[in-house]
Structure 1
Amino acid sequence: MYFPFINAKQYDLDALCEIEVKHYDSFIPVIIPANITSCKRNITKLISKDIYFILVLNYGKKGFPDINQITEHFIDDSLKNYKNFSIAYVIQKETEKFEIANYIQSFPTLKKSLIHGFEFGDRKLLKNLSNVEYNIFLTDFVNSSYIEQVSNSNSVLVNDGFLKQSRNVDYPPKNIFKTHLFDYHSKNAVGFGDFTIIGNNDTTGFAAFSVALHLTVLNNSSLFIYHFVSDDKDGQSEIARKYNDALTELDDFVNKNKVFITTGIIGFQESYKSGHYPGLGIPKKWSIKNHVEQICNYLSVL
């Protein structure tokens, strides 16, 4: 099973809602609320589609809502009458034993998972928790011996495989996307995950000097991200033209190579044919859709 971590933003959740229903046999999205108002608005899209997801209670990034806010505004409010979701609690450096105990005892009607973003000291305590649905390990921050000592045959291995660049122009033509897709079974895990083509540091910066479109492709048991990047000679202007330049390269690549055609790729192809510049949020949506659908297609034929 695939567990992509998704920020509860407009185009990210639009991507989930537009992914073909058949793929949900292979993946469960892990939703990270980043802003109360916008997240409540966007999560209603998942509710309207009856999509099952895991809601993270305490992701811990600065400015993100805490567990009390998520309880008040989501679990006791917008999700009050929705049954098709579960929750997850992030173990961080400052996490105390009583906080884990409180979490396990809370929300008796909901399934619960733990996200290990730090190696918690009392591993025996975690091992003895019998009512944890998934132990989700962020493998960039915890090692294999910790996973072995804590897991109860319910491990999910998650890493950030997207090599984010500070400037779009610095992206190479392609790079390998590091993933547990090909080794999670051999590590006795029940699933794997990633942060799609966004990465674990999704920040909004200044207007870009160049446009980068990211396309996930599975090839010979390797996962690649191809980057189609426009020039930056016009500074922060001419974004529509730069988008078209990058899109032309992407369309040419798809036409010349053996690539599984996802609904994300179809979005890019239709944009190329129409010549319409949709802004940069919608191409982000197409890239997320393509990434998830490429992986789910691979899982479906195993």
Structure 2
Amino acid sequence: MYYPYFRGKQFELLTIRDMAGLLAENNFIPVIEPVRESLGGLKRTLSAVHAAGGHAIVIVNPYHGDHQEDGAGITALLQEEFRDADNIRAGILLRNEMTVDEVMDCYSQHADHDPVLVHAGFNVPKSLAVALEDDMSSLTNVFVEDHAKLLYRRHFDQSTRILIRDGFKRQRNADYPELEEFSDLHVTYGDLGMAGFGDFLMVGDAYSEGGGPAYAVAIHLTFIDPDKDDVMYVYHFVSDTKDTPSDPAGKFGQALDKLIAKLDSGTSNILETAAINEFRDLHAKGHFPGLGYVKKLSMKHHIETLADYLG
């Protein structure tokens, strides 16, 4: 149903671990592209998903990060630690430089982990569909919408198809508007012939190694508007101070004040999730937990919001 796409940085993995029970309960399946050399955090995260009875897809040939030249360590992790875990699947990322033969080699190598194809720039879909014809009915294909339009997806219409849309328009924190549309895919995926949908949460598809100094702090929170056909929107609560890299705690406090004021207005449509309770607690205590933790809370809220809507 819902396939959130995570790059495997620390707080992304912590989010999955913290939410393992909720993800499993709602049949939400995270797609994880490991970007850090150390795979200890990934192992702990997959163990938590497995223990909760959930499912996950792990990209074995990442495009970004420390494993982009060689994903052998990820393959070894799956084979050594999760060989008998049929709920942990290998994801093969299809980019524009890959050939059909390379895809099929990787597909065969990971046959023990029920491979999922993640289409993100591949450019010979017809030839690949022919090569996969015998397996198509049992195959899951995940399409990143910006790289796989309707004609492309039609080649795989006999398979289980998932569509991922990047609803987060990433920009400098100081430049975010207060409110913008995020996505309607949670409402329309079935109309598009898809068995499920996904997104890149509050991070977006654009990859960066790490943030520089935060001249402004922004808290991003999604909500579903029942008065607008259940379209999902995102609030950006941005600090007033935007011209200095110092005092991130003070800037977080400014952004949090705006969030709490919007919540207390009674007109926000923001679901009172466990993550929102944490934001309220941080506000009451005047505590700054660090920007990574703030991002984690935004991602948790997003997942909780979709769980409430789809449940």
The two structures have a TM-score, normalised by structure 2, of 0.88
Counterpart selection for 1:235 from 229, 236, 244: 244
Change beyond 3 A, Cα 1:81–1:275 = farther
User: In the alignment, residue 88 of structure 1 is paired with which amino acid?
Assistant: G
Residues 251 and 183 (structure 1 numbering): CA distance in 2 closer, same or farther, change over 3 Å?
Answer: same
SS of the residue corresponding to residue 227 of structure 1 reads strand
Q: 2:142 aligns with which of 136, 140, 159?
A: 136
Out of 224-233 and 16-25, give the one that drifted further.
Answer: 16-25
Task: Report the Cα distance in structure 2 between the residues aligned to 1:89 and 1:175, rounded to whole angstroms.
Answer: 32
- Structure 2 counterparts to residues 257-296 of structure 1, below 5 A: 257=267, 258-296=269-307
- Report deviation, 1:36: 2.2
Q: CA deviation at 1:81?
A: 6.3
Which residue does 1:88 correspond to in 2? Answer: 91
Report the Cα distance in structure 2 between the residues aligned to 1:22 and 1:61, rounded to whole angstroms.
28
SS at the partner of 1:226? strand
Secondary structure of the structure 2 residue equivalent to 1:3 = coil
Question: Which of 70, 74, 85 is matched with 2:74 structurally?
Answer: 70
Unaligned runs of 5+ in 2: none
2:94–2:117 Cα contact (<8 Å) kept: yes
Q: Is the 8 A contact 1:127 1:151 kept in 2?
A: no
Considering fraction of residues, name the structure with more helix.
2
Cα distance in 1 for residues equivalent to 2:104 and 2:33:
22
Work out which of the residue numbers 110, 113, 128 in structure 1 matches 2:113: 110
Q: Quick one: distance in 2 between partners of 1:23 and 1:4? A: 10
Match of 1:6 in 2: 6
Partner-residue secondary structure (3-state), 1:140: helix
| Alpha carbons of structure 1 residues 292 and 269: separation in structure 2 relative to 1, 3 Å | same
Is 1:45 aligned with 2:54?
A: no
Which of residues 98, 111, 127 in structure 1 aligns to 2:101? Answer: 98
The 8 Å contact of residues 2 and 296 in structure 1, kept in 2 or not, is answered as: no
Q: Which has the higher contact order (CA 8 A, sep 6+)?
A: 1
Say what the alpha-carbon RMSD is for the aligned residues.
2.1
**Structure 1 residue 124 displacement after superposition:** 3.9
Contact conserved, 1:12 with 1:285, CA < 8 A, in 2?
A: yes
Kindly state the Cα deviation for residue 259 of structure 1 after the two structures are TM-superposed: 2.6
Shift of 1:164: 0.3
Alpha-carbon distance between aligned partners in 2 of 1:236 and 1:291, rounded to the nearest angstrom = 28
Query: Which of 207, 218, 222 is the matching residue for 1:212?
Result: 218
Counterparts of 1:43 and 1:155, CA distance in 2: 27
* Candidates 191, 196, 210, aligned match of 2:201: 196
Report the equivalent of 2:258.
249
CA distance in 2 between counterparts of 1:34 and 1:279 reads 21
Is 1:28 aligned to residue 34 of structure 2? no
1:110-169 Cα offsets, whole Å, 9 max, x none, are: 11110111232415425514165311111101210111122324110012110000x211
Distance 2:281 2:117 in 1: 41
Q: Any conservation in 1 of the 2:37–2:66 contact (CA below 8 Å)?
A: no
Tell me how far 1:225 sits from its aligned partner: 0.8
Query: Does the CA-based 8 Å contact 2:91-2:117 persist in structure 1?
Result: yes
Shift in CA distance, 139/129, structure 1 to aligned 2, threshold 3 Å: farther
For residues 105-184 of structure 1, the aligned pairs below 5 Å read 105-117=108-120, 118-121=122-125, 122-125=127-130, 128-130=133-135, 132-165=138-171, 167-184=172-189
Shift of 1:41: 2.5
Report how many residues are paired. 297
Identity %: 29
- Gaps (5+ residues) in structure 1? none
Within 1, Cα distance between the matches of 2:152 and 2:160?
Answer: 14
Retained in 1: the 8 A contact 2:34–2:65?
A: no
Cα separation, partners in 2 of 1:192 and 1:253, compared to 1, 3 Å: same
